[in-house]
Structure 1
Amino acid sequence: MAEGLMKKLHGQDIYVQSAGVYNDLEIDGFSIAVCQELGVELSRHKSRSFDEMQEWGDDLSGFDLIVALSPASQRRALELTRFFHLDVEYWPILDPTGLGTQRAEKLDSYRQARDQILQRMETRFGGAGE
């Protein structure tokens, strides 16, 4: 979700690569739905792990910043970057998975998470076109 939202805000001005601790999770349908509300297409987005990023040629030392959205991803990022000069920030974002029992409640939780990510991005990197 974060990669798509960042590209929506800044296009090609900032290079963004989304990665996680694991790659075995498909992009959640609720994430796809709430991002589509903002014109962000995630349905073709592929989940990848930090290890896959490195295997595919993305050298972590070439990045300036890693933003972790979970404690597990923060721990993994800190492990991988202990020899590099780049920052790791942890953004405590609501984890919407498992919240709500009705579709509308679930969508509301995902919207909250989406909006928290957007707010953090705008605070950290500025709004669109800045």
Structure 2
Amino acid sequence: MTHPANIPVDIKLHRKSRILELTYGDGSRFELSCEYLRVHSPSAEVRGHGEGQETLQTGKINVNLKELVPVGNYALKLVFDDGHDSGLYDWNYLRDLGENHDLHWQHYLDRLDQAGASRDPDLSVVKIMG
């Protein structure tokens, strides 16, 4: 069940800066990059169907949103310009992504580093062991 405080009162997509801005009735405001939203998609394609089945998203630094589609009174479907459109971002999840941005982002960066992967689709990471 969605807590009323988790429902944004204003949603703005800044295409040029690739930022989704969410404002809440309690005065909270979060600016979430399209890359951040894409790599944290709640879709089965990204999350898998259980613990340990996640697919690390790489090379998404330039991804943008093409469309925001309201789903009932409980979520947004985000349509990305890389073709990804299967994640439903419910209000509780969006609020969590805003409130816990730094934690989620650092976890993602750590996973990229462990995988020897990059946010940039034009960059290959090579680790020299010595």
TM-score, normalization by structure 2: 0.26
User: Structure 1 or 2: larger strand share?
Assistant: 2
Q: TM-score, normalised by structure 1?
A: 0.26
In our comparison, the structure showing a higher alpha carbon Rg is: 2
Structure number with the higher helix fraction is 1
**Which of 1 and 2 has higher RCO (CA within 8 Å, sep 6+)?**
1
